Amino acid sequence: MHLLAGATIVALATSCVASPGYLKLDLQRRSPYEGRLIRRQNPDGSVDTVLTQNSNKLEYLVNITVGTPPQDLGVTLDTGSSDLWIPASSAKLCKQGQCDLGDFDPNASTTYKVIEQGGFNITYAAPGDTDAGDWGSDTITVGGSPSIDSQQIGVASQLFDPHGVMGIGFDTNEANNDSPSGVYPTVLDNLKSSGIINRKAFSLYLNDFEATTGAVIFGGIDTTKYSGDLVALPLQPGPQGIVSEYYVTLTSVSFTDSTGQTTQLSPQGYSQATLLDSGTTNTLLTDDIFTGLALGLGAVTDPSGEAYLIPCSLSTANGTINYSFGGDGGVTIQVPVSQVVGGQGYTSSQFDDPSGGCVLAFGTPADSGGFSILGDSFLRSAYAVFDIDNKVAALAQAVENEAGTSSIVVIPTGTNIPSATATATATGTQLTAVAAETGVPTASVQGSSMILAGTPTFSLATSSSTTTVGSTSSSAAANNAAVPTAALLGLGLAAGIMGL
């Protein structure tokens, strides 16, 4: 949630389209700077919910106003959490001018009320990463929406993160609070009870890596933003054994190379409950899938051991990662290689490739405490619908950079998802323990100043090359082999590696 040093702050869009039954907001994308895994921690020290991950560093933002008169703020939109919290102007970071997307002064609002002084506290996995303050309530708007009265919010006067989060998940996934039922009405609850939307449901269109804006439509679906079938997927129980997050059943992962040959990466019978999370930048796959993918792309481990590097030239490679959901009658989303190649972390003088070394927007559940997550590097290629009321999600292949047209269908009361052509019913299991470390080894340090690039096993012709690199495999046999070690020859870790 921090900016990369030297990056430009992107002004948030104020575009809002409201019509009976839906509210459409533009999302603005930008790159924060400190990459870290962020997970909500319970008071007893246990960690039960992935909230967001900024490693390799993109976030999607919306405008809100809080208070009377309204105070403008920008917040991260997060399908992986459920609370709306904002920084207080009294926080040290805000006084130092670091609350880059605005802060909130409760004393300047005539409609603000304290619910529980000192009761708001969210602690994350990164050392020292705590945001804390008061539970309060106030009038809010979301992207220029009609006013929502008495929305419960966290007002953080002790900050690690310089701007807030608007979670749009289940109310049962809220941070601890003292309400009698253990939950309070979320923003989605209040959008529905205020009559702005008919159902606690929304659609998400992040758009591709080159785009600067996407859209979220509360209560609606834009049929021009996807191709093929929109397939409904019943939500699966999460780690707590209940449906309280957006887990769907992933049944197959494969890779199609530049020659059209497809390599199966997931083992036979694979059926994994996998979280759809816009607050997570990377995609975290089980090791049996990820290692084969990393081998195929020629990935090597960054010297820090916290990221995976591939040649930046793969941003123009021909190939797709194919994710299938729901088993028979399900849907397959194709993610081009270009959508998982991040910014340059090492120049050609530091990384043994003329294009330099870029971050691969992947990890394994060992990075997240055992959760398998499809983050932004997947969601940019998918059009996703989330229906809390009926515990269903729906996916289709996104049509990228389709900004000029729009045809929005209102999601009415009831159980069906408009425009969905089928429902896939396969169930997925949860990992029962933290995943083993991936087979990708940490880079070794030797005597010169060059990180050696790996050798891809997929055919990966790029737009600037007429030849293919490496060879293809028609089975997942290579999945358990180790990805080649990156040899670091006298070069320290480049500060501020930036990826997706």
Residues marked active site are found at 78, 277
Residue type, 48: D
Long-range contacts of 431-437 (CB under 8 A, 24+ apart): 431/272, 431/286, 431/365, 431/370, 431/371, 431/372, 432/370, 433/370, 434/365, 434/366, 434/369, 434/370, 435/286, 435/287, 435/364, 435/365, 435/366, 435/370, 436/287, 436/366, 437/287, 437/364, 437/366
Residue type, 248: V
b/e burial code for range 362-399 (CB count within 10 A of at least 16 → b):
bbbbbbbbbbbbbbbbbbbbbbbbbbbebebbbbbbbb
Check if the beta carbon of residue 1 is closer than 8 Å to that of residue 131: no
- Which positions ≥6 away from 259 have C-beta within 8 Å? 459, 468, 472
- Alpha carbon 244 to its chain centroid, in Å, reads 17
H or E element in which residue 190 lies: helix 187-193
**What 3-state class would DSSP assign to 315?**
helix
Residue type, 94: C
**What does the block give as tokens for 274?**
């996998």
d(CA 319, CA 338): 9
Residues found in the chain? 500
d(CA 406, CA 365): 37
- Which positions ≥6 away from 135 have C-beta within 8 Å? 114, 115, 116, 119, 120, 152, 153, 154, 155, 177, 178
- Alpha carbon 358 to its chain centroid, in Å, reads 19
